[in-house]
Amino acid sequence: MNNSQMLKGILSGVVLHVIAEGPIYGYELVTRLRELGFTDITGGTVYPIVQKMEKAGQLTSKQLPSPDGPNRKYLFISPTGEEFLTKFDQDWSALTSIVNNIIK
């Protein structure tokens, strides 16, 4: 299994965690994910995930002024997104516990 297959299952939760830290715009989100170790991540991977989460009501967005030029679309986690994140954290904790027991 390659990294992209493994990422598909966790990237939504990771993206929501980053957005939960505070409002963030798309390019900044991709940059932050790279800083956190997802070095191969691209906007082409992240933007469809963001669109899907926004459509599901897990995120909201708002155009805000940028100090560097045109307005930017900032992303915010919604109450639905917070609920998803709580469930994701519970599922992730259970899964990592099981896997860690297997690979000891």
Of the chain, the percentage scoring pLDDT greater than 90 comes to: 83
- Of 59, 55, 64, the C-alpha closest to 84 is 59
pLDDT tens track for 4-44: 666 777 999 999 999 999 999 999 999 999 999 999 899 99
Q: Say how many residues make up the chain.
A: 104
- pTM equals 0.88
Residue 28 CA neighbour count, 13 Å, CB half: 12
* 3-102: CATH architecture: Orthogonal Bundle (1.10)
* Mutual angle of helices 79-102 and 11-20, in 10-degree steps: 130
